[in-house]
Amino acid sequence: MPTLARVLPLFPALLLSLIAPALIGCGSTPTPRFTEDRSMSVRHIPGSSVAVVNANGSVTAESHSGQDVRIEARLSSDSAERLAFARLNAAREGDDRLRVWVEWPGGDRRGNEGANIRVYLPDANGVDIRSSNGTVRVAGLAGTADITTSNGSIVVQDHNGRVRGRTTNGTLRAENTTRSIELFSSNGAATILNAGGPVRVETTNGSMRVTTSPDNAGPVRLRTTNGSVALDLGPAFVGRLRLGTSGERISVQGFERARMIESRGDTVEMQLGTDDTVSAVRTTNGSVRVRGPEPLSGR
């Protein structure tokens, strides 16, 4: 049996051999992430639509003053070799729709690869965007806008047409739109300003602020949880307006000529004009404030 004097000198070396791999792993340099910018121009066809298919990145489609379509993208990958062979593509389909996408080597995008894509167009009559893990922004275009993403916001500005969008874990924002709006999210606030058509917005864990244009007759349908709702309606709004919350306050002003149907605690219902179209606002754990175009009595 070895003596204690012979064992002790071996202990530091033994301890170092056991902990060295752990130290090396903890202090190792992470895999480098490579990025590369790509760009291209495409001849513009007036009045055509645009479709962008992306994954793991943001997408922007907006108007500009140039004559052609300008496409820019920042690609990223943990492999410099794969990044070198990735391609930014654009092609016209039979109906002149411009389709934009990124093609990864072997036709298969790896989980850590992605792209941020920006498309600048003189105009567009129709916008279709599909992405994930990124914000989608559409500005200054027209036609129906269909937007789907996840873990990112949806932003639509100055759009002449219908808007439909869905995301998860992202905020919703639309400004100066002319037609109907349908937006859905979870875990995100919603802001709709100067809406020119019917509005339907649903989210969770987020507050809402909505204003309609002066000539918008409605309807407006809003639903959220764990958030307050502030709604400003223009003078053209008509129909039956139902408001509800749970355990919070409902405030209504600026509807001097409205007919009150019900007012109790967490529920208010009133009629504006003779139209029977129903508008509804519903939240939980949040207040509801609705303001109409009429001045308050005594002012």
Mean pLDDT on 221-233: 97
| Strands, sheet with 208-212, edge to edge from the N-terminal-most edge strand | 34-42, 69-77, 114-121, 59-63, 136-139, 154-159, 172-177, 190-195, 208-212, 229-232, 288-291, 250-253
Tell me whether residue 297 is in a domain: no
Tell me whether residue 11 is in a domain: no
Say if residue 234's pLDDT is above 90: yes
Digit-coded pLDDT (tens) for 5-58: 333 343 343 333 333 444 444 444 455 489 999 999 999 999 999 999 999 999
State how beta strands 163-166 and 220-223 pair: unpaired
Digit-coded pLDDT (tens) for 101-127: 999 999 999 988 999 999 999 999 999
Rounded to whole angstroms, how far apart are CA atoms 187 and 112? 24
Say if residue 238's pLDDT is above 80: yes
Tell me whether residue 125 is in a domain: yes
What does the block give as tokens for 206?
Answer: 């987020």
> Cβ–Cβ contacts within 10 Å for residue 93, how many?
11
Q: What is the pTM of this model?
A: 0.87
Q: Name the average pLDDT for the chain.
A: 89
Quote the domain boundaries for residue 162.
50-64+120-291
Tell me whether residue 159 is in a domain: yes
Tell me whether residue 35 is in a domain: no
Mean pLDDT on 139-156: 98
Tell me whether residue 172 is in a domain: yes
Tell me whether residue 60 is in a domain: yes
Rounded to whole angstroms, how far apart are CA atoms 209 and 190? 6
Is the C-alpha dihedral spanning 244, 245, 246, 251 positive or negative?
Answer: negative
Domain count, the chain: 1
Tell me whether residue 12 is in a domain: no
Mean pLDDT on 152-173: 98
**pLDDT bracket for residue 264 (50, 70, 90):** confident
